[in-house]
Amino acid sequence: MPNMQKVLAEEIRRLARKELKAALVPLAKQNKALKEQIAAQAKRIKELSKAVAAASAPAKAAPAPAAKETPAAKPVGKKAPKRAFRPADLVAFRKKHSFSQRIVAKLLSTSLVTVTNWENGHAVPRPGMLAKINALRKMGKRQLLKLIPDETKKTARKPRFAKAAAPAAAPAVPAPAPAPAQ
């Protein structure tokens, strides 16, 4: 009997392989055709991107010859190029006026965390906020102090080395009363 079982198992494997091959051969051919199609499309994409680059290159490469511009020759409507934000500039402004980060945050209507992130270089102010910062930097100290809310002025930073105040007179301590006689 064991021989019959072995023969039957081999016949089942052979038939299963034959059926799998019959099913997989067309799929393998289809897979090969799809890979060839993908390769052809990739090649076409490269050709088209080169053509686009070549078509746009002459427009960029052929600017009109520019003469040296003098300050008077600049167009009136154009603004001067803006300088990038530097955290050190904000810190220098703050220290120059002896302002805390909290006061600068109040002046700019933003949070203390935001000002801290700007100064540490973890974030950059948006263009609208940059305009506010630049406007504050152009103001004098008196103008800035007028802008600070009164409750914030109390938390303003004081100079580190203030003159020491004269010692106050020692409070008068009453002498102990004599104990009643017995």
Q: CA Rg, the chain, in Å?
A: 41
**pLDDT score recorded for residue 19:** 92
Instruction: Give the pLDDT mean for 18-22.
Output: 91
163-175 pLDDT tens trace: 555 555 555 556 6
Asked if residue 144 and residue 96 are part of one domain, the reply reads: yes
Q: What is the pTM for the complete model shown?
A: 0.40
% of the chain exceeding 70 in pLDDT:
66
% of the chain exceeding 90 in pLDDT:
27
Asked if residue 93 and residue 139 are part of one domain, the reply reads: yes
Are the CB atoms for 168 and 123 separated by under 8 Å? no
**pLDDT of 153 higher than 60:** no
Is the residue at 44 inside a domain? yes
Number of domains in the chain: 2
Asked if residue 91 and residue 149 are part of one domain, the reply reads: yes
51-61 pLDDT tens trace: 888 887 765 55
Asked if residue 107 and residue 49 are part of one domain, the reply reads: no
CATH number for 102: 1.10.260.40
Q: Greater confidence, 78 or 135?
A: 135
Is the residue at 32 inside a domain? yes
Domain final position from 14, 31, 55: 55
- Angle at 30 (CA atoms; ends 24, 33), nearest 5 degrees: 145
Residues 41 and 43: their CA atoms lie apart, in Å, by 5
Is the residue at 24 inside a domain? yes
The range of the structural domain enclosing residue 39 comes to 1-55
Which residues make Cβ contacts (< 8 Å) with residue 87, sequence separation at least 6?
118, 119, 120, 121
Which two tokens mark 144?
């800035």
Is the residue at 81 inside a domain? no
Is the residue at 67 inside a domain? no
